[in-house]
């Protein structure tokens, strides 16, 4: 490995995690989660942020949310919380958070990380970020191969995420490097449906998600 490659692989990152207002979160889990839907949404986001903060390649986690409950809980973990000032949809919110990340650490890369990764493992995230460090812009597709769970841009590179339905195709069309490594299932396993949650629990979800799932009849 050359000196420049070694330096790139040790790049630090500021990751932006968007967290919905809990009343609007995890709607596809309504039938399975019932009255625990908001608690599940908060648990999933909390386990995701906690794992990201434990990753040795992550310098800062910036949470973008307008909900005071996750704002307080995630700030207590050590995340920087900013409101969704643009209030213009997901991608503008991520750009706003990335701007804060670059203020906090101008020499770090910036990334957008899904808040729906309750089985996220810090070592797997570290491996992904080391690969991302060697490309201007990169992304990780979700387990379904349709969406995106992580989008990154190196320092000095425009941060222009295209999250939303079919984002994998859009990120590829824009020239972002697709990261498909073996053994990064926890970085790709986002949770939107009961089937997704079962898969995350099988991988080994974080303690908060596991605890809430145990209260759901379908998962007890």
Has 165 been labeled as part of a binding site?
no
Has 148 been labeled as part of a binding site?
yes
Token pair of 88, please?
A: 């213009």
Tell me how far CA of residue 17 lies from CA of 31, 55, 162, 188, 198, in angstroms.
26, 14, 15, 15, 23
Contact call for residues 26 and 184 (beta carbons, < 8 A): no
Q: Which residues contact 28 (CB under 8 A, 6 or more apart)?
A: 192, 193
Residue 34 — φ and ψ, nearest 5°?
Answer: 55, -130
Q: Which residues contact 10 (CB under 8 A, 6 or more apart)?
A: 57, 130, 133
Longest CA pairwise span in the chain (Å): 54
Has 14 been labeled as part of a binding site?
no
3-state secondary structure at position 58: strand
Residue set of the binding site for phosphoenolpyruvate? 148, 164, 167
Residue set of the binding site? 148, 164, 167
């Amino acid at each position: 490995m050359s000196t420049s490659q070694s330096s790139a692989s040790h790049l630090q990152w500021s990751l932006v995690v968007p967290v919905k207002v809990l009343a609007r979160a995890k709607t596809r889990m309504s039938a399975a989660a019932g009255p625990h839907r908001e608690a599940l949404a908060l648990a999933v986001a909390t386990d995701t942020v906690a794992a990201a903060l434990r990753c040795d390649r992550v310098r800062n986690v910036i949470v973008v949310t307008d909900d005071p409950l996750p704002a307080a809980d995630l700030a207590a973990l050590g995340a920087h919380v900013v409101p969704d000032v643009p209030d213009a949809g997901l991608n503008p919110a991520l750009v706003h958070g990335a701007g804060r990340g670059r203020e906090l650490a101008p020499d770090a890369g910036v990334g957008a990380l899904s808040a729906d990764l309750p089985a996220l493992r810090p070592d797997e995230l570290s491996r992904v970020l080391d690969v991302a460090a060697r490309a201007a812009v990169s992304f990780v597709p979700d387990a379904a191969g349709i969406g995106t769970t992580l989008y990154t841009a190196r320092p000095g590179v425009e941060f222009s995420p295209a999250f939303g339905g079919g984002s994998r195709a859009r990120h590829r069309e824009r020239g972002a490097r697709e990261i498909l490594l073996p053994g990064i299932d926890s970085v790709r396993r986002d949770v939107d449906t009961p089937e997704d949650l079962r898969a995350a629990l099988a991988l080994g979800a974080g303690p908060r998600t596991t605890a809430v799932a145990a209260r759901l009849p379908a998962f007890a």
